[in-house]
Amino acid sequence: MKVYRDYANYVPSQPAIVTVGTFDGVHIGHQKILSRIAELAKTGGMQSVLLTFFPHPRMVLFPDDNDLRLLSTMDEKIELVRKLGIEHLIIHPFSKAFSRMSAEAYVEEILVQGLNVRTLVIGHDHHFGRNREGNLEELTRLSEAHGFELEEIPAQEISAVNVSSTKIRQSLADGDIAKANSFLGYPYGFQGRVVAGNQLGRTLGFPTANLQAVEPLKRIPAQGAYAGLVKVESATYQAMINIGVRPTIGQNFTTTIEVHLLDFDGDLYGKTLSIDFYHRLRPEIKFENTERLKEQLSKDAAHAKSLLDSLA
């Protein structure tokens, strides 16, 4: 798959079958669309092209709204799209100037002249151009004027999948990892860099690596204890992950991300860990003392190992 950081860098050698969108998380609904495009491109002698944007349009159009957290970094999105057989991924810079482009100019300059679109595949509620003025009716008119086919994915087909990036973000905010993973079609995760901590975990018999998320805009799951797999360089370990304020022993109640690797003994400081979440063990709990906390951590470790062993 070839990756371009501006649509102007793409030089079409064949007509293209194109879809457009942010595709945050590349969930099972996205996967269905992209796999379909890849297959249609092969059978129709076309190039398969995904046009996406960076930064996320909401971050540009609503700069004071700091609530948006993303499901995938751009590097993660690239790898997910690559696996689906798309030949060309165009990551076009999204700006206020770009958002003011009229629907007609967008179709003519980008889709027709820039991408040599033969077939455009869109969702049933697709809007584009300045003030989202472009809709299915406008696209139908423009496709006829410029001689390309338009394929709309029916609302019933989207509803049958019953998934959206918004629903996944909400599932993660609720701590419902199982639902989020089922919507994504793969385990949700992120990368974190091991930073200095206060080493309280060692005093409890469960040494932890304190993490700082590499991408601050990634959605972090809700507070609680989780079971997951953690990749350290080329090795993968079973792990317990705790996200929260450590109410039993915490003092400043700042949210932390702590990882305890099962069956591991070594120094992780300064390393970057890749975490995949598989199960939520429990919500965060304030225990009456550290002894009760230690008892629960032992139960969590056994539960996590049992759940993760079943993945094999």
Token digits of residue 20: 């457009």
* Non-local CB neighbours of 155 within 8 Å, separated by 6+ positions: 124, 125
Rounded Cα–Cα distance for residues 275 and 232 (Å): 9
Assess whether pLDDT exceeds 60 at residue 72: yes
Residues 230-286 have pLDDT tens digits of: 999 989 999 999 999 877 776 667 888 999 999 888 888 889 999 999 999 999 988
The C-alpha angle 251, 252, 258, rounded to 5 degrees, equals 85
Nearest to 272 by CA among 73, 71, 79, 82: 73
pTM: 0.89
Rounded Cα–Cα distance for residues 113 and 127 (Å): 20
Work out the average pLDDT over 24-30.
92
Q: Please give the pLDDT value at position 266.
A: 82
The C-alpha angle 244, 248, 251, rounded to 5 degrees, equals 75
Cis ω before 187 (30° cut-off from 0): no
Asked if 150 and 140 touch (Cβ cutoff 8 Å), the reply is: yes
Assess whether pLDDT exceeds 80 at residue 135: no
Phi, psi of 263 (to 5 degrees): 55, 45
Residues 211-237 have pLDDT tens digits of: 999 898 999 999 999 999 999 998 999
**Amino acid letter, 100:** R
Distances (CA, A) of 10 to 28, 90, 237, 255: 27, 8, 41, 43
Surface-to-core class of residue 100, CB atoms within 10 Å of its CB (0-12 exposed, 13-18 middle, 19+ buried): exposed
Assess whether pLDDT exceeds 90 at residue 149: yes
Token digits of residue 29: 């609904």
Token digits of residue 105: 């100019």
Looking at residue 250, what DSSP letter applies?
-
What average pLDDT is seen over the chain?
89
Top-confidence residue, 15 or 124: 15
**Amino acid letter, 81:** V
Work out the average pLDDT over 183-201.
86
Residues 150-167 have pLDDT tens digits of: 888 765 555 555 688 899
Distances (CA, A) of 199 to 202, 203, 240, 271, 294: 6, 7, 16, 17, 15
